[in-house]
Structure 1
C-alpha cells in the first residue's frame, strides 16, 4: 500500500507541476527565472493600453531598437492588449512615420516583479518561442504603469522607460 501511495505522489508531482525555471533573454543576456507568477499584478495590467512615451538618457543622440523590431520612438502610440487569464495578447505599432506592425504576444509577471515578454512571429506557436525580454514593472496604478528595460551604452547600463496609459 505504501508503494502505491508513493508512486501516486511521484506521478502527481511530475504531471501537476511546471518546470522550476524558464529562460527569457533580454537584449544583453539570458536569464533563468522562477515560473511562479505575480497574479495580482497581472490582473491589474489586464486590458487595453497605449504606450504614450519612451524615455532614456541621451535620447536626443542615441537610437534604441526596441524589442529588436523598430526604433523606440515608433512604439509611441502603439496599442497593447494584455489578457491575464491565459497570458496572451497583442501589440500593434501604428505610428504614421514607421512601418506598421502587429503581433501576438505572450507575457507574464514573475514573482520577482519582472515582466516577461515574448513576441510571437507569424506561423509560430507561442509555446515554441524560446526567447523574449525581461523588463521591470514600475509605477502601477489603475490608469498607468511603466516597463523598464536596460540597454548598454558605451559600457554603461541605462534604463529605457516605456510609459503606458490605460485605453478607454
Structure 2
C-alpha cells in the first residue's frame, strides 16, 4: 500500500514548470554549427521512467518523443520537429522551431507552431551535453515530488 501511495504521489507531482528568468543570449556559434542537420531522438531517460509519466515540452508523454525527427539549420537558428510515434497513445505533431546555443552551454528552444517566433513568449532551456559529430544530449530539469531530477533526450544524426 505504501508503494502504491508513493507512486501516486510521484505521478501527481510530475508537473514541469519553467521559470521566467532571463537567459543569456550570447551565442556559441561554433557549437551551433555542429548541430546542423537532421536528428532523431533515440532515447528519453529519467529516474522512475518505468513508473512515472512526464509531459515533455508541454506537448506529449516523453516516451512519444522517441523516434521524433528534428532538423536544425544553424545559419538562421530555425528548424522543425515532428512527432510520429508508432504508438497509438501518441498523437502526431509537427511544428517549426527556433533555437540557439548560448555561451553557458544551454540550448534555448521555442516551438513556434502557427505563430511567428516573436509572438511566442515561452520556451525551454535545456543543458547541451555529450556533443559529438553525430550525437548530443539535451538535459531538462523536472520536479518529482518536490525534488529536482534530470530528464535526458538523446539525439542521433540521421544524415548530413
For the aligned pair, the TM-score class normalised by the smaller chain equals 0.7 to 0.9
Query: Following the alignment from structure 2 to structure 1, what is the Cα–Cα distance between the partners of residues 148 and 18?
Result: 10
Partner of 1:91: 81
Query: Following the alignment from structure 1 to structure 2, what is the Cα–Cα distance between the partners of residues 64 and 101?
Result: 17
| Count of matched residue positions in the alignment of Structure 1 and Structure 2 | 142
Where do 5+ consecutive residues of structure 2 fail to align? 1-15
How far does the alpha carbon of each residue in 1:52-96 deviate from its partner, in whole angstroms, 9 at most, with x for none?
000000001110000000000000000000011111000000001
How far does the alpha carbon of each residue in 1:85-143 deviate from its partner, in whole angstroms, 9 at most, with x for none?
11100000000111110000000011111000000021x11121111000000000011
Query: Following the alignment from structure 1 to structure 2, what is the Cα–Cα distance between the partners of residues 135 and 151?
Result: 11
Runs of at least 4 residues off by over 2 Å: none
Structure possessing the higher radius of gyration over alpha carbons? 1
Q: 1:33 offset after TM fit, Å? A: 1.8
Query: Following the alignment from structure 2 to structure 1, what is the Cα–Cα distance between the partners of residues 60 and 105?
Result: 26
CA RMSD of aligned residues (A): 1.0
Do 2:18 and 2:124's aligned partners in 1 also have CA atoms closer than 8 Å? no
Instruction: Determine which structure has greater relative contact order: mean sequence separation of CA pairs < 8 Å that are 6+ residues apart, divided by chain length.
Output: 2
- Of 106, 113, 131 in structure 1, the residue corresponding to residue 105 of structure 2 is 113
Query: Following the alignment from structure 1 to structure 2, what is the Cα–Cα distance between the partners of residues 34 and 75?
Result: 27
TM-score normalised per structure 2: 0.86
